[in-house]
Every structure is written in structure tokens, then in C-alpha cells.
Amino acid sequence: MFRAQIEPGSYLQFVDRVPFQDVDGLVERGLLNDFGKISGRAQAAVRPISVADFDRILSRGIPDEDGALPRSSDEDVSISVLREDRVDFILGVDRAREQRLTSRLVRDRVFRSLVVDAYDRRCAVTGLKLVNGGGRAEVEAAHIMPVASGGPDKITNGIALSGTVHWMFDRGLIALADNFDVLISRQVNDAEGVKSLINPSGRALVPRDRTLQPHPRYLAWHREHCFKA
């Protein structure tokens, strides 16, 4: 019996489903025996995996670039590895693979893709679904509770916002109530202009699936620590 213990908030699902095989053959080729047939290892729930197979699976599950998503300025900078205070039960882990999985670059790309898809590439505040001439979405994935403050890369800690609205949200000029009503700070110098940006409902357009909606815990943190009431 084996059990994987995952630190809360650290799990990220793949952006794309990884097939057992594709046009290039088996994705996990270590399952083949010396005669090119599926070996008994394919039935094992826990098995070693080669670096080549790992990279192949990772490339299928987390594409380097999604043409429909907005670009991130972080993609032009060097990879920064997340700090880990303690890692238990690690034996013979390839350091390069560990860096690829825990890099801020990869986590941001996955977070951005999952959040933007959950909101159907539409700004939750304005309701606009804009794309550029190349088909790339204008909307961005915003953390409600920033990573720097301990916020996790979870869809429930994210919201899809257009560039200007994202800027206002990060600076506490707008916030969301627990029922997703859009709140406007009294410190906004052009309140009427901000109101004109909000969709007619006056409420953020969140996913219908409750498991994908912003969690009240993160919304409360943003109101308490960022919002300029």
C-alpha cells in the first residue's frame, strides 16, 4: 500500500488530459518490454519512471504556450524555484525535474490556463470577452490572495479580470463581497467611470460550478488587507 501526501494548496492538475498513447506511440514508453510489448509493469499502481517519460508526460499535460491565453510578463524572466522548508520521503529525485515542477513559471502558466478557462475567457467584472487579432484572450488570471502573502495557486483563489480591472483589484480600488457584488473604494477618484466598467448586474460573473467560484476566505482576506474601503 502506498499513499501520497500532498501539501494543501500545492496540487496543480494538468491543463490538458494526458492520453495513454498518441500519434507518437505510448507516452510512458518505459511500459514496453524488450520486445516492444506492454509489460506487466503497466498494471503496477506505483512504478519508477524515466526522465524521458516524465518530460514527455509533462509536455503533454502542461503545454509551453497556449495561443488563446494572454501572455505573462513573467515568461520573459528566468525561472525562480519556490522555497520549500522541508520535503519528506524523497529518494533519488532528479533536481532538474523538481525545478520544472515547482518553478513559478510553470505554476503561473497552469494557474492562468485553469482560471481563464473556468471563466470562459471572460472578465468577471466587465463581462467582456475580448480577443486580439491572433485569437489571444485579453483577460488575465488574478490571484485574490497574492502568492507573496501565502495565497495558493487554486482556481478558488483566482478570478479572470481584464488588464485595467486587474490593476484596480490588486491596488484595492475594487473588491468582491461574499455574494460577489463588486465593491468600489471611496478613494477612487473617478467612481462613475469605474461603475461604467462593471457589468449591468453589479456582480462578478463567476463560474456556475460552485467548486470553481472564489472562496469566501480569500475574498475576505482581500477586503481586509487590500481593499481601501
pLDDT, tens digit, 9 for 90 and up, residues 102-138 = 566 777 888 888 899 999 999 999 999 988 766 777 8
Residues 37 and 113 in one domain: no
Q: Which pairs count as long-range contacts for 196-200, CB under 8 Å and 24+ apart, including other chains?
A: 197/125, 197/126, 197/164, 197/165, 198/125, 198/126, 199/125, 199/126, 199/127, 200/127
What is residue 191's predicted lDDT score, i.e. its pLDDT? 94
| Residue-range definition of the domain harbouring residue 82 | 66-225
Number of structural domains found in the chain: 2
pLDDT band at residue 64 under the 50/70/90 scheme: low
Distances (CA, A) of 54 to 103, 140, 209: 16, 29, 32
pLDDT interval class at 20 (50, 70, 90) = confident
Give the alpha-carbon dihedral of 43, 44, 48, 49, to 10 degrees: 30
Residue 87 pLDDT class (50, 70, 90 cuts) = very low
Based on the domain organization, do 179 and 116 belong to the same domain? yes
How is residue 70 written as a grid cell? 494572454
- The mean of the pLDDT values for the chain is 80
User: Hey, is 142 helix, strand or coil?
Assistant: strand
CB 161 within 8 Å of CB 195: no
Higher pLDDT, 30 or 155: 155
Rounded Cα distance between 208 and 197, Å, is 22
Instruction: Say whether both 52 and 121 belong to one domain.
Output: no
**pLDDT given for residue 29 in this prediction:** 84
Give the separation between CA 183 and CA 161, rounded to whole angstroms: 15
Is there a single domain that holds both residue 181 and residue 199? yes
